[in-house]
Amino acid sequence: MSKWTHVAGIIRVDTIVALTGGNPRHDLLDVLGPVSTFHVPRDDTTLPYGSEGSLEYDIIRTGTDNSMSWGYVAIYGDLRDYTDHLEIIDWLEKTVNDIYAKGIWIRNVSMCIDVESNPTTYMVHWHTDMDEDNQGLIVTEYPKIRSD
């Protein structure tokens, strides 16, 4: 029987392209890298992956060049034969730090990780008080509600 891990998350990013220049979409693609799927497997993916492919993502632009709110990255997937929630959390922390290092500000991060075989669901969010030395991921564990 397969073991599945279900992931849904969002990274909301800010940057003012008119002031900073650059190409945030290109920078985000550079950090996130290629997606590996069942039909198009990739050996060079850095995304967490199960036996049928990696997490996936969409980069969505919501603002304008003069807007602080640039957009967000939606991260999602169902990883087959994968149960390591800590690896996903480590990947998310590295990814957020790498995005920040590109000069893109992190406004919000939120992710839900549900390992089917685990009695706990993990909620991850980014804490910041605008002090670079006092920011990072916070993980909260919630017991699953059983219906049997």
Which pLDDT tens digit goes with each residue over 90-144?
Answer: 999 999 999 989 888 888 999 999 999 899 999 999 877 655 666 788 999 999 8
Cα separation of the two ends of the chain = 20
Question: What gap in Å lies between CA 52 and CA 45, rounded to an integer?
Answer: 13
The architecture (CATH level 2) of 4-143 comes to 2-Layer Sandwich (3.30)
At 117 the pLDDT is: 87
At 71 the pLDDT is: 94
pLDDT tens digit sequence for 29-87:
999 999 999 999 999 999 999 999 999 999 999 987 777 889 999 999 999 999 999 99
**What mean pLDDT is reported for the chain?**
90
User: Helices 24-32 and 85-101: crossing angle, nearest 10°?
Assistant: 150
Strand-strand pairing, 105-115 and 4-14: antiparallel
At 9 the pLDDT is: 98
Handedness of CA 23, 19, 71, 46 (dihedral sign): positive
Question: What gap in Å lies between CA 133 and CA 45, rounded to an integer?
Answer: 30
DSSP H or E segment with residue 5: strand 4-14
Question: What gap in Å lies between CA 147 and CA 137, rounded to an integer?
Answer: 31
